[in-house]
Structure 1
Amino acid sequence: MKSLSTRTLRTRLGAGLVAGATCLSLAACTSNDPEQASDSGGGTSEAEAGSNDEAGDEVVIGFSAPAADHGWMAAITNAARAEADKYEDVELRVADGTNDVNLQISQVETFINEGVDAIVLLPFDGAAMTRTALKAMEAGIPVINVDREFNDPNAARATVLGDNYGMGVSAGSYVCEQADGNENAVVAEIAGIDSLPLTQDRSQGFEDALSECGLDVDNRVAADFTVEGGERAASNLLQAAPEIDYLWNHDDDQGVGVMAAIQNAGRDEFVMVGGAGSANAMREIQSGDSVLKATVVYPSTQGADGIKLARLVVQDKALGDLVEVSVPRTIQLYAPVVTEENVDEFLPSAFES
């Protein structure tokens, strides 16, 4: 695929910045410790009269997400629980996490039959869950779609998304900044699962951003978002590439394995950039003693934002910082770069790999 023009790239970047600004009123500082997160303030117990956080009619929300088989996904559900705990007018019913599409369909149908007020759904497979989400919407139950989109926009009242293309752009822009005009720099990439659109978007954003400073990806391998897969892919890459200046790894969970492979190989000549924004990656950055110098955030607050949006939709409220009187159809979160300079700002809301 050809790289985008400078004008197109800047347009996409601008759109991402606007989307990031839009969701500032949503984003809650969340933690993998629900008790800690619930003590962070806000919610109905401290709300001013007339504010969006003031207690209203009870809202029963059904929540379903894939199995918490790695840190980011576990943080999604934990953050959703913590956000619901802040509101005395929210009853959250959480289905067991599952990677079985048929079971997730059954879970959502149970919520429909129970007559919940809203459903927050991070689908294991967006396309496969579309028909069931449409069924909920047709029953008058608003669906908040999180992270993985349905293939019919009518299947959700609102959608909360990370920015996979923007992650790639942020990572590539950071590499360009570090390379500082050196067009001979050797750049490597460890992707996630290549068949997934999210991986393709991340790689395309990375490629497009690198092209702005005359760089391209010299060595690329794909992993599978697991520690074992990351170590295996990184080992293969390091054997194939005797010289690397910059390495971007798409996912900090698989990055645990990537870091193990780097240490086993005794390689330290390059700058590494992570992806997703895990707490252990941020601590590596904070130490200053690692090849890992930055990570690009893919917010694990999306489930929490979904809970907050569901409550606002059911109570017929809008976002407090917008003039618009209804909740927007789509909110896309920003993908900032975390470095040693700003890591203290992001570490409290990071997830554990």
Structure 2
Amino acid sequence: MKVQKKLILFIVLLLLSAVFVSGCGGKQETSQQISGQSGKNGKIVIGAALPDFDDKWLSYLQDGMKEYEKTQKDVEVIYVDAMNDASKQLSQVENFVQQKVDAIVLIPVDTVSAPEMVDKADQANIPIVVVNRIFDGVEKATAYVGSESIKSGLIQMEEVAKILNGKGNIAIMNGQMGHEAQIKRTEGNEQIIKKNPGMKVVLEGTAEWDRAKGMSLMENWLQSGKKIDAVVANNDEMAIGAIMALEDAGKLDDVVVAGIDATPDALDYVKSGKLKVTVFQNAKGQGQVGLETAVKAAKGEKVEKFNWIPYELVTKDNVEEYIKKWK
């Protein structure tokens, strides 16, 4: 009996020891996972905080990031969706900081909350690269990658003015109010209108970057009875919505419609002649350069503070060139 008791005690102690060792091993693994680079089999871990996975143009930007990621064997990207909620995005960035990722790519939901997110990363000595949406204080980030929004508005309205011979009633369709792109693209539009005394803004409203809302806004404008010679939208999705409403009303031939971004859908409308003007914003290019810059920063390499991706005018004359870019 004594031998059996000793044997049982030995087995119990052996099992307890195994459990203890296993528990320690588990804690060590968790610690490695949180430590970023060392916890991912030597990979550089990048946290990508995106505002909205459902936004069409931003989905192309994310595609650019993913394409670049595939070329880098030592890089892993964690993508999170803020669903256009600034407080949620702040929490996601805080989680990246706690996880000790090697760098963060941020496309801010809005320009108000963005500086705090940059500060959170800076305080933790984590490189942060802001992409697409610029804001006051962006210079505190490691780098910025994007296009100068005001230039797209200038290019867009210059072409509309050319088509209208400097005369006409303009309806401006704004994106989500307060967004840097909405403010600056509209500012660019207004600068060109001021240079053309025969042009004036007769209607202005927001459709929040959305096609269905653009269609609804255009329907309301048509019901107002005001003469409209051109609808100038802050992006292509709203412009397409305006085209749909104008087509339904049988008035598309009387109105010049212009957008910005040169998305694949928009290029089809340009090719058909329904969308007269768009401005190519290189979504994939911004995504690729944004992630590439973050990887370089994570490795301790020197990066440029501002990385500008130029806008380009697209009309029916050169649309085929841009259709090829998406293939």
TM-score by length of 2: 0.78
Whichever residue aligns with residue 330 of structure 1, its letter is: F
* 1:11 counterpart residue number: none
Alignment of 1:1-353 (within 5 A): 58-149=43-134, 151-153=136-138, 155-179=140-164, 182-222=165-205, 223-240=207-224, 243-267=227-251, 268-288=253-273, 290=274, 292-301=275-284, 302-317=286-301, 326-349=302-325
| Mapped partners of 1:120, 1:158: distance in 2 | 10
CA deviation after TM superposition for structure 1 residue 82, in Å: 1.9
Q: Secondary structure in 2 aligned to 1:141?
A: coil
Higher Cα Rg: structure 1 or 2? 2
| Mapped partners of 2:139, 2:228: distance in 1 | 46
Pair 1:151–1:204, CA change in 2 (3 A): closer
Whichever residue aligns with residue 118 of structure 1, its letter is: A
* Identical-pair percentage: 27
Pair 1:277–1:211, CA change in 2 (3 A): same
Q: Which one scores higher on RCO, CA 8 angstroms, separation ≥ 6?
A: 1
Number of residue pairs matched? 283
Of stretches 201-210 and 129-138 in structure 1, the one that deviates more from structure 2 is 129-138
CA RMSD, 1 decimal: 2.4
CA deviation after TM superposition for structure 1 residue 348, in Å: 4.1
The answer as to whether partners of 2:130 and 2:145 remain within 8 angstroms in 1 is yes
The answer as to whether partners of 2:106 and 2:129 remain within 8 angstroms in 1 is yes
How far does the alpha carbon of each residue in 1:289-341 deviate from its partner, in whole angstroms, 9 at most, with x for none? x2x12212233232332101112223344xxxxxxxx4221223322111122
TM-score by length of 1: 0.72
CA deviation after TM superposition for structure 1 residue 244, in Å: 3.4
Of stretches 148-157 and 65-74 in structure 1, the one that deviates more from structure 2 is 148-157
Q: Secondary structure in 1 aligned to 2:168?
A: coil
Q: Secondary structure in 1 aligned to 2:90?
A: helix
Pair 1:241–1:202, CA change in 2 (3 A): farther
| Mapped partners of 2:209, 2:259: distance in 1 | 12
Structure 2 runs not aligned, ≥5 long: 1-41
CA deviation after TM superposition for structure 1 residue 230, in Å: 0.5
Q: Secondary structure in 2 aligned to 1:236?
A: helix
| Mapped partners of 1:161, 1:192: distance in 2 | 18
Structure 1 runs not aligned, ≥5 long: 1-56, 318-325
